[in-house]
Amino acid sequence: MRFPYALLLLCTCVVSAAAEDPFPAADALFAQHHHSVASGPASTLDEIERMALMGNPEIRVAARQLAVVEAHVPAAGALDDPMAGYRGWGIPLRQPWNYNAAQNMFMVSQTFPGFGKRGLRTEIARADVAEAKATLDNTRLNVRVRVRKAFYDLLRAKDELRIHDEHVVIARQAVEAARIKYTVGEVPQQDILKAQVELTRLAEHLIHFEQDEEVARSRLNTLLGRDPGGPINVRGDYPIPAQLPGAEALEKLALASRPDLAQAQAAVEKSRQEQALAVKSYTPDFTLSAGYMLMPSGASPRNNYMVEGSINLPWLNRRKHDAEIAEAKAKVSEQDAELAAVRNAAFGQIQESLAQLRAAKRLADVYRGSLQPQAEATLRSTVIAYENDRTDFLNLLNSQTTVVDIDLAYFQALADFETRFADLELAVGSPIERTGQPSPLEVTQ
């Protein structure tokens, strides 16, 4: 707090007097609420993000899914397994064991898909890899954005608790001064009781602040793949830039960087390859077989070989293959429409996030440039008036409370700006460079 001395003046206004304490409740309330301070070294946002990218369980799952899809690529275009067979012809029924009287054939056969089919199957598998990579990138982006939000929520909670602690110290001093003035009869008990009610509300505020800190810490630990209830300490600032990027530049960046656009584009390419493969269904497959024949005993020649070839006839099954081709064409149209919808949604998210970001920056500017100086000037004036008995205790306490509330709202505005900036990066699909010189709003913790 910039004016912790404001109510210290109250303690030097009168001479201390011994009397029964009519305000025991406030001290008891303050004594019951002490927030815990996280132990260990504090981590910056960059350090937290690196830890999250290495330890986040969702990223690990997406990476393993990518590994599974990549492992499938070599198998997608491979030939079917060769077949080995045996045929026994002319085995006498009365001597089923007499293979010397039979024609024994040992064969090996291999099916070869029509020209171009294996390559298309490989391309479809590679499109699956591209989709899985985009999914992994999208998971990393989402985790990074959620880490940023949780980081700044925790940083804001720490600032709120710090300001609250300073306010409690001032409140204790104010209550002590009020005791003294009430004892010598300078203020009525009714006014002091009203002041005590306002001071007691600090306990209510502390409950909310501690809840915000605990939730933010739990959320951040979860994103890091740690025990949600474990300790974590953060340090950083609110680097609000002097300028914000334009919508046109952000849209171009989104087209090149946004993972779901890359995923949708990969899906379109996959559907086109599937359509080409469906058309290839009219290209026949070939099966070649070769074998050795052992003729019955006494035959001449007894040792022979055989070669056999077969081909499927897709033209005789047009109804099936035409339906497959029509389905593939419809899927291409659907994927094209989905890509256009994703692109349109991305541009809409960019515009919405940018509007919210601009509003958050203007709000932070108002707090920093206007409300905080005005509240502090009012507090100075009230302190001087109180010293000269031109105002009462409640006005002084109200001025101090206003400064505290504006400070809390200012840190909330800074955290909201970072949240909106993270939302904009999510809409764009990549980190956004903060242009311009650092804003005077930058606050170092």
User: Residue 21: pLDDT above 70?
Assistant: no
Which residues in 249-369 belong to E strands, given as ranges? 286-294, 303-311
Which residue stretches of 224-317 are H helix?
Answer: 247-257, 259-279
When pLDDT is averaged across residues 256-278 and rounded to a whole number, the result is 92
Element (H, E) at 435: none
When pLDDT is averaged across residues 236-240 and rounded to a whole number, the result is 83
Alpha-carbon distance 290 to 305, whole Å?
8
β-sheet bridge partners, residue 112: 286
User: Residue 200: pLDDT above 80?
Assistant: no
> Of 385, 375, 362, 376, nearest to 441 (Cα)?
362
Contact 283, 117 (CB under 8 A): yes
Contact 346, 261 (CB under 8 A): yes
Tokens of 214: 């605990």
When pLDDT is averaged across residues 314-335 and rounded to a whole number, the result is 93
User: Residue 247: pLDDT above 50?
Assistant: yes
β-sheet bridge partners, residue 438: 241
Mean pLDDT of the chain: 83
User: Residue 378: pLDDT above 70?
Assistant: yes
pLDDT for the residue numbered 41? 80
The amino acid at residue 281 is: S
Q: How confident is the model at residue 29 (pLDDT cuts 50, 70, 90)?
A: low
Alpha-carbon distance 350 to 323, whole Å?
41
When pLDDT is averaged across residues 35-50 and rounded to a whole number, the result is 76
Class of domain 8-12+40-428: mainly alpha
Tell me the angle at which helices 45-55 and 117-183 cross, rounded to the nearest 10 degrees. 140
Residue appearing with tokens 């209550």:
175
Q: Radius of gyration (Cα) for the chain, nearest Å?
A: 38
Alpha-carbon distance 121 to 76, whole Å?
6
Q: Name the least confident of 99-113, 161-175, 335-349.
A: 161-175
Q: Number of helices (H) and strands (E), helices first, in the chain?
A: 11, 4
Q: How confident is the model at residue 194 (pLDDT cuts 50, 70, 90)?
A: low
pLDDT for the residue numbered 38? 55
Helix, strand, coil fractions of the chain, as percent rounded to 5: 65, 10, 25
pLDDT digits 0-9 by tens, 289-310: 999 998 888 888 889 998 999 9
CB atoms within 10 A of CB 319: 8
pLDDT digits 0-9 by tens, 419-445: 999 999 999 998 888 764 344 333 333
* b/e per residue 110-143 (b: at least 16 CB within 10 A): ebebbeebeebbbbbbbbbbbbbbbbbbbbbbbb
Q: Domain limits of the chain?
A: 8-12+40-428
pLDDT for the residue numbered 192? 66
pLDDT digits 0-9 by tens, 55-69: 999 999 999 999 999
Residue appearing with tokens 């201390």:
16
pLDDT digits 0-9 by tens, 124-165: 999 999 999 999 999 999 999 999 999 999 998 888 888 888
pLDDT for the residue numbered 423? 92
> Of 6, 444, 35, nearest to 207 (Cα)?
35
β-sheet bridge partners, residue 103: 89
Residue appearing with tokens 């800074």:
414
Residue appearing with tokens 């409140």:
171
Alpha-carbon distance 402 to 396, whole Å?
10
pLDDT digits 0-9 by tens, 44-95: 989 999 999 999 999 999 999 999 999 999 999 999 999 999 988 888 888 8
Backbone angles phi, psi at 289, to 5 degrees: -135, 145
pTM for the predicted model, two decimal places:
0.78
β-sheet bridge partners, residue 149: none
When pLDDT is averaged across residues 4-23 and rounded to a whole number, the result is 39
DSSP state of 229: T
